[in-house]
Structure 1
């Protein structure tokens, strides 16, 4: 609580702990015959952090934003690089010039990429996506996917790498042996159609790691796209109930400076309507309590429930755009303006904080 001379708010990434986590996840996947592409978007593609991913055994790097690939290439971080958002047609030139492979689910876009590859005299790998229920990107009709694979195979300037799926990011669908087994069946159908084996059968992202850890991943799955599971093992512990004690769960630390400490009622006084975001919050009656404001807000981390104070006796009540409101009634020590509080950050909070221009991003070892 004595560190008040630095510029706040900040988010701190411990690169030594991150490297340990990356090696652990890569080794456990490798033991199941699964390669890992490290997804760097969870820290907004910062080259300092991406370099640790690349040094710790991932087969390549992936992100959803071509700008992040450009920044990492400019910093000399070796690829290969995979684009894990299906491309916008308007960014075809950037995708071909910057990425080595991309997810895809629309044949007009694949044809556009093929033509752009010809113009740039480059090749681009294509991972065709199947939608197995999460209802984000991907072919819903698996027969259509098989025919798209056959067409992609016949194109002159792109290479069909394999098939993949995303589960959990939108529809909250849990990866299971059954739905990933369905992806393996799609891969077999594609292979029968094109007459060769696929290099990649990409079984999703961090939410698929539980199947690796408990030994239930279908054997045909040989690739995962993992970011959160390396950065935030705490999410797998808290949300999936997994024993993640082999990982550091505190790679990221958010620090914010206290602005105000006062005793106030626990419920607003007056007619309650909506807050700054159009919601009507609920305020349980707990009497007059010690409260604190910290200089960080939803603009920086988006989700209050993704922050957990490390100091005992402090809890998050809510936030506005620029203020974090805390209950400090049970904090055993003195709390005053200028004190610095530390928070564990779940994936979404770290994602927003590392991308905020108002939050310093500090790397330590």
Structure 2
């Protein structure tokens, strides 16, 4: 944001940009601070979120190198965030060619050529030709060990590095049928299959905390519904007394939201403390979110 340029200069050596007015403001802030800030230009390569159109890159790059206080550090692209458009050989070759074109027009060597995010990892690990790309910005792939497009597991990476721990605050027998259904998207619930066991538990987690649909439940636990700050479950194997804990897995959207939720406590358990995961019985670092 334009309102953050001074903070960016104080906190960062490099920033990713697509608007000249913001880059000019960063340049002015850098001059005021007596420093030089590095700029990576985002290029639109099909996802239609952020980025300069490829045909406009050369002109914007020339503007950047003319500004005191900033230097042109590189270019970057984004994939599969908004439109679900992933990288392919032709797109990556076109993006790589933009590097040499920009260097030829502007002169400076581009130190960073960032070919995307986690959606580009399988391309990078495959039999791709040698290109100018030397950087990826990895989130979901390295955190959850999955390719965000196919959701396939990535060899060598764990899928359970994060565990969400939630506490039971009520367990009671209740009927499955209700007299009135509330037509409110916040209060929506999934159909409950009739069963003899009507024991239901409430846990202290709701839609304000995370993306409920992105949670994965242990075997024998059914999700019955969620409101803003509560979630109702049923454990078919054993009652869950008040105070007991339930451990859940998360997809990227659920993990992203719970990490930002103000009421979430985060406990990092690493090898230095000798702690061992209760779930996997291994000593590699993992994270509990409570």
Partner residue in 2 for 1:293: 202
Is 1:213 the counterpart of 2:125 in the alignment? Answer: yes
Tell me which structure has the larger Cα radius of gyration.
Answer: 2
Partner residue in 2 for 1:172: 84
- The 1-side partners of 2:223 and 2:93 are apart by 41
The 5 A counterparts of 1:256-275 are: 256-266=166-176, 268-275=178-185
**Distance of aligned partners of 1:304 and 1:119 in 2 relative to their CA distance in 1, 3 Å threshold:** same
Provide the alpha-carbon RMSD of the alignment. Answer: 2.2
Partner residue in 2 for 1:364: 269
Q: Verify the 8 A CA contact 1:114 1:157 in the aligned structure 2.
A: yes
**Distance of aligned partners of 1:286 and 1:243 in 2 relative to their CA distance in 1, 3 Å threshold:** closer
Is 1:250 the counterpart of 2:155 in the alignment? Answer: no
The 5 A counterparts of 1:30-69 are: none
Q: Verify the 8 A CA contact 2:80 2:86 in the aligned structure 1.
A: yes
Match of 1:103 among 4, 7, 16: 16
Partner residue in 2 for 1:343: 248
Can you list the C-alpha shifts for 1:17-42, whole angstroms capped at 9, x where unaligned? xxxxxxxxxxxxxxxxxxxxxxxxxx
Q: Verify the 8 A CA contact 1:129 1:163 in the aligned structure 2.
A: yes
Give the structure, 1 or 2, with the largest relative contact order (CA under 8 Å, sep 6 or more).
Answer: 1
The unaligned stretches of length 5 or more in structure 2 are 271-290
**Distance of aligned partners of 1:121 and 1:107 in 2 relative to their CA distance in 1, 3 Å threshold:** same
Can you list the C-alpha shifts for 1:22-69, whole angstroms capped at 9, x where unaligned? xxxxxxxxxxxxxxxxxxxxxxxxxxxxxxxxxxxxxxxxxxxxxxxx
Match of 2:40 among 123, 127, 138: 127
**Distance of aligned partners of 1:273 and 1:325 in 2 relative to their CA distance in 1, 3 Å threshold:** same
Is 1:327 the counterpart of 2:239 in the alignment? Answer: no
Shift of 1:355: 2.1
SS at structure 1 position matched to 2:137:
strand
Partner residue in 1 for 2:104: 192
Is 1:276 the counterpart of 2:186 in the alignment? Answer: yes
The 5 A counterparts of 1:3-18 are: none
Higher helix share: 1
Q: Verify the 8 A CA contact 1:123 1:157 in the aligned structure 2.
A: yes
Partner residue in 2 for 1:67: none
SS at structure 1 position matched to 2:87:
coil
Shift of 1:228: 2.2
Q: Verify the 8 A CA contact 2:222 2:233 in the aligned structure 1.
A: yes
SS at structure 2 position matched to 1:276:
helix
**Distance of aligned partners of 1:178 and 1:265 in 2 relative to their CA distance in 1, 3 Å threshold:** farther
Shift of 1:190: 0.9
Q: State the TM-score, normalizing by the size of structure 2.
A: 0.84
Shift of 1:241: 4.5
Q: Verify the 8 A CA contact 1:264 1:290 in the aligned structure 2.
A: yes
Match of 1:316 among 210, 218, 223: 223
